[in-house]
Amino acid sequence: MKYFLRKLGMLAFTLFVSISINFFIPRLMPGDPARALLDKMEGLPPEQIESVRAAFGLDTGDSLLVQYGKYLGNTLRGDLGVSFSRFPMPVTQVLRIAIPWTIGLLALCMVISFALGTAIGIAAAWKRETRLASFSVGFFSFIRSFPYFWLGLIFIYFFAFKLRLFPIGGAYAVTETRGSAAWWLSVLRHGTLPALTICVSSIGGWMLMMRNNMINVLAEDYITVALAKGLPLRRVKALYAAKNAILPSVTGFAMSLGFVVGGGLLTEMVFSYPGVGYMLYQAVNAKDYPLMQAIFLFIAAAVLVANFIADIAVMILDPRVRDGAA
């Protein structure tokens, strides 16, 4: 329980830090932040500039502390300002369109790549003497070094442009009625390449992490004892070794989450997949600062909550943590 409360406190504090970072980034930039922001918006209609001033509390004559207080209040109420590029839509509303796509894509990919990578890692550690195992280690570390967005470009080039197997971008066929069977099929077809990109890029990380944990566990005495007792190999592999090796992987899952989410954002940008990442790309290009910052806040919050869930999973899986010994 103490562990749970500590993690909950950490979640609250990290959320608070993210919200504060979001407030201070524009203000910490060299030069007069308000001026710089307004200069960047040159050519925008006055009502948009006014909305930014209101949203950011710039040029209002309030002290920094008052601005900060107002900002915190607004954020907690879910008011993150108005988008420039889709004026006068509130950014939260813009964001709401994109969120389901990203969550659908990323959640699916993470589950697939975590499961596959962990399974391959277990196998590679169990049979580490074989050629196939050492080859797979080299292969996956090479694959892992590809930038996500570049792998996406390659997939588009070969599978969408050359072979014409999949669409080049987007998330669904605009010609189909939303919600129909054909529409869902088009969603699948559009999602295949982005999903493949994310899975292929992230699988190596899980695989290598699991392999190393597993090798460490396999060197433990209790494994030798289990083998000496003549327990079935499969039982030793699954219940004695893998079960214990997976714990650091779950913790690592939380740690790598931010990285995979980052990669997912880039993948969306390459595929013009209408999720949060592509929206961030559009916001950056349109200099839509309120939208950009709202997206950062959303992603940070999502990752932090997912981290919290992973911590809870560790609590359930690890009796040492559960019983408060560690």
Concatenated DSSP letters of 227-246: HHTT--HHHIIIIIIIHHHH
Judged by CB under 8 A, which stretch of 13-21, 73-81, 99-107, 223-231 contacts another protein?
13-21
Complex with another protein: residue 153 or 231, whichever CB lies closer: 153
Judged by CB under 8 A, which stretch of 97-105, 111-119, 146-154, 243-251 contacts another protein?
146-154
The answer to the question of residue 184 lying near another protein (CB under 8 A) is no
Cβ atoms of 196 and 202 within 8 Å: the answer is: no
The answer to the question of residue 145 lying near another protein (CB under 8 A) is yes
The answer to the question of residue 206 lying near another protein (CB under 8 A) is no
Among 3, 21, 97, 183, binds another protein (CB under 8 A): 21
Give the separation between CA 220 and CA 222, rounded to whole angstroms.
6
| DSSP type of residue 40 | H
The answer to the question of residue 91 lying near another protein (CB under 8 A) is no
Cβ atoms of 23 and 55 within 8 Å: the answer is: no
CA dihedral 213, 214, 218, 220 (to 10 degrees): 30
Tokens read off for 148: 């996500």
Complex with another protein: residue 87 or 158, whichever CB lies closer: 158
The answer to the question of residue 159 lying near another protein (CB under 8 A) is no
Neighbouring-strand partners of residue 82: 90
Please, which of residues 109-138 interact with another protein by CB under 8 A?
129
Count of residues making up the chain: 326
The binding track of 44-73 with respect to another protein, each residue x by CB under 8 A or -, is: ------------------------------
Phi, psi (degrees; rounded to nearest 5) at 8? -65, -40
Judged by CB under 8 A, which stretch of 99-107, 191-199, 237-245, 258-266 contacts another protein?
258-266
The answer to the question of residue 144 lying near another protein (CB under 8 A) is yes
- Here the contacts of 143-147 (C-beta below 8 Å, separation 24 or greater) are 143/200, 143/201, 143/203, 143/204, 144/201, 144/204, 144/205, 144/208, 146/201, 147/266
How far, in Å, are 94, 174, 206, 208, 219 from residue 143 at the CA level? 35, 34, 12, 12, 28
The answer to the question of residue 255 lying near another protein (CB under 8 A) is yes
Judged by CB under 8 A, which stretch of 15-23, 47-55, 69-77, 80-88 contacts another protein?
15-23
Residue 295 CB, nearest distance to another protein (Å)?
7
What's the angle, vertex CA 156, arms to CA 151 and CA 162, rounded to 5?
130
The answer to the question of residue 80 lying near another protein (CB under 8 A) is no
Judged by CB under 8 A, which stretch of 98-106, 112-120, 161-169, 183-191 contacts another protein?
161-169
The answer to the question of residue 168 lying near another protein (CB under 8 A) is yes
Give the separation between CA 13 and CA 40, rounded to whole angstroms.
32
| DSSP type of residue 191 | H
| DSSP type of residue 90 | B
Binding site for another protein (CB under 8 A): 10, 13-14, 17-18, 21-22, 25-26, 29, 36-37, 129, 141-142, 144-147, 149-151, 153-154, 156-157, 161-162, 168, 212, 215-216, 219, 254-255, 257-259, 261-263, 265-266, 269-270, 280-281, 284-285, 287, 289, 292-293, 295-296, 299-300, 303-304, 307
